[in-house]
A and B are shown apart, each in its own frame.
Chain A
Amino acid sequence: MTSMAATPLIRIRGVGKRYGSVTALADVSLDIHHNEFFALLGPSGCGKTTLLRAIAGFEDPDEGSITLTTGDTQPADAGEVDLLALPPNRRPVNLMFQSYALFPHMTVSANIAYGLEREGLARSEIARRVADVLVTVDLQDKASARPRQLSGGQRQRVALARAIVKRPKVLLLDEPLSALDRRVRADMQVELKRLQHEVGITFVVVTHDQEEAMSMADRIAVMEHGRISQIADPVTLYQRPVSAAVADFIGMSTIIPGQAAVDGFTALGERLPAAPSGVIGPALLVIRPEDVRLHADDPTDAAMGSLSGTVLATHFFGGTSTTTVTVAGLGRPVLATQIGPPAHRIGAVVRVGWPAERAIVLPDTP
């Protein structure tokens, strides 16, 4: 299963796309491997849809290449196809549209059969595969319904069935869950992940929801302004972000600007706990809320850092609580998460610290 080492399934190199003065994609390069659940994550307008549509064949990149490995996962018989040379209807990939794009004048089963009919398969084969996929997405009883008679979640499953029934090499999904309400969305995240395992198809999912990407994807490409900022698995992305922007986008964090030197990190005239990072000069210190420790202010306590602040607010979520502390000189308050109820009252003066090895020091490049 994990022959991802050798040849990637999709190889994207130096892809760029401009619309007039807007740069939608700039020098995008990435590899997507066999059977991977890959997420493209970034704020709205960063070029995610454009990249997906370029893979599917609905946008022509201005430059760069997109190739697909044919043959099996064996590197020996792998050949490469230039995807950009093929029209959308001849690419072995399928796109699930953000609007689902179900054909309103056809029943659910006719929608699903449409792609198989285009392959010229025998009627009996088509009927069998449609019936099978309806079971997979649990819509057996909706076979003869029209799209307009379905709920949002059901439409989404029809769109999914219509795409996977073609057994594409890669399934591209553009914000597949954004049209659903919160509760259904949580169910469908689990469902998508299960389906991907079951059908063994490589999924590339576009999303602007970092929690969604983190919880589903094997690897995530974080995009900003048409560029890739970082490609990594969710844990690496969280623990070792390459820029403050990535750190800020992935999960909660406190970011403190300062100066990094060989022997430590200085901000607000204080030495702050930080492990040696190799960064010298203007730098940003990123600390996650769960790593922040708060101590009742005691001038004799020299342990940990030496920042002190005032508790601004506390929030209790049942299992955990979050304390917001304002530190004089810092633009944004420091967030601290701990297990159990909050340990400090609003207005209390506290020392703020963290284990040096948990602090992430990044160069401060404007």
Chain B
Amino acid sequence: MPDRTRTGTGTRRPVERGLGWLRLPLIGAFGFLYLPIAVLVVMSFNASSIPFVWTGFSLQWYPTLASNPQVLQGLLNTLVVAVAATVGATILGTLLAVGLARYTRSVLLEAYSLAPAIIPDLVLAIGLLILFTSIGLTLSLFSVVLAHIVFGMAFVAAVVTARIGQTDPSLEEASRDLGATGPTTFLRITVPSLAPAIIAGALLVFTLSLDEFVIAFFTDGPRTPTLPIVIYSMVRFGVTPEINALGALLLLVSFTVVLAAQRITRLTDAL
């Protein structure tokens, strides 16, 4: 098999020398990207309870956060939704991608399958709300999970489809040729050869679900708010350092998951 260019940071482009002034826009763009985040993280260590005035360093907001039952319940709800949606979206998205690759040559169908990842959240949210109420489904964490699976599986399908395009289609045929049934081939050959993409897709869905607000807001029941909804209701009474601390923690989780995704895909790729 020919060597493929691998994803990740395996190969580095040569760094451009000279033209130093071009670095200015680069620095500017990065500043624009990360300044708000930096402000949030810094302010989460602010001693003052007035969120815009720095009075000194303090860790007090983190313990405060941990003792806020509303936040803890929201966090629990969000984790339940994220885990369930990740499992569902990963399984369905993988099956969707494999099915699309195997049984159709329709580019249109492929585009449609990815649509939930692209269409505006608001449209998807309203559509799901109408669907759920018209079939008499009580809004709860369960309906949020269903909603997150809908857009999550589109992301998984997109990532896995890209990977299928790079794998040798004769691997599955070789497995059949050696006497394996269809299901055995799927579990022993198809899934392992797509594993890096499946894992990457799963982690992507997990991070997306973790801070998803619009769809959850429309499809959640009133008694089981997810963390973003809890934060939203807290922010309505003003941004407190407590919320900054919560934001910093969410950031930490997201970064960790993204780094883990990179690590794992590179690890399985190397096998």
Contacts and interface: CB of A to CB of B under 8 A. Distances in A.
Nearest to A152: B1
B266 to A, nearest CB: 14
B9 interface: no
A148 B270 CA distance: 9
Contacts of A56: 177
Interface in B159-178: 168, 170-171, 173-178
A103 to B, nearest CB: 6
Given A102-B1, A103-B171, A105-B192, 16 more contacts: A89-B177, A89-B180, A90-B179, A95-B174, A97-B170, A97-B173, A98-B170, A101-B170, A101-B174, A104-B271, A114-B175, A114-B180, A147-B1, A155-B1, A162-B178, A166-B179
B219 to A, nearest CB: 38
A100 interface: yes
A366 to B, nearest CB: 38
Contacts of B179: 89-90, 115, 118-119, 166
B1 A58 contact: no
Interface in A70-129: 87-90, 94-95, 97-105, 114-115, 118-119
B178 A166 contact: yes
Interface of B: 1, 168, 170-171, 173-181, 184, 188-189, 192-193, 195, 271
Contacts of B178: 89, 94, 114-115, 118, 162, 166
Given A97-B173, A115-B179, A166-B178, A105 B1 contact: no
B271 A146 contact: yes
A97 B168 CA distance: 11
Nearest to B167: A104
Contacts of A148: 1
Interface of A: 56-58, 87-90, 94-95, 97-105, 114-115, 118-119, 146-148, 155, 162, 166
Contacts of B170: 97-99, 101
B180 A101 contact: no
A97 B171 CA distance: 9
B269 to A, nearest CB: 10
Contacts of B180: 89, 114, 118
Given A118-B184, A146-B271, A101 B176 contact: no
A279 to B, nearest CB: 46
B176 A89 contact: yes
Contacts of B175: 103, 114
B177 A94 contact: yes
Contacts of A100: 1
B contacts with A: majority SS: helix
A101 B173 contact: yes
B210 to A, nearest CB: 30
Contacts of B177: 56-58, 88-89, 94-95
Nearest to A120: B179
A102 B181 CA distance: 18
A164 B188 CA distance: 21
Given A89-B180, A100-B1, A162-B178, A105 B173 contact: no
Contacts of B176: 57-58, 87-89
Nearest to A58: B173
Nearest to B3: A148
A98 B1 CA distance: 10
9 contacts: A57-B176, A94-B178, A95-B177, A98-B170, A99-B168, A102-B1, A102-B174, A105-B271, A114-B188
Nearest to A53: B173
A115 B188 CA distance: 12
Most chain-B CB neighbours within 10 Å: which of A89, A94, A119?
Answer: A89
B171 A101 contact: yes
Contacts of B171: 101, 103-104
B174 A105 contact: no
A19 B184 CA distance: 30
A102 B189 CA distance: 10
Contacts of A57: 176-177
Contacts of B174: 95, 97, 101-103
Nearest to B173: A58
Nearest to A172: B177
A58 B171 CA distance: 13
Closest 4 CB pairs of A and B: A115-B178, A118-B179, A101-B174, A101-B170
A95 B174 CA distance: 8
B189 to A, nearest CB: 6
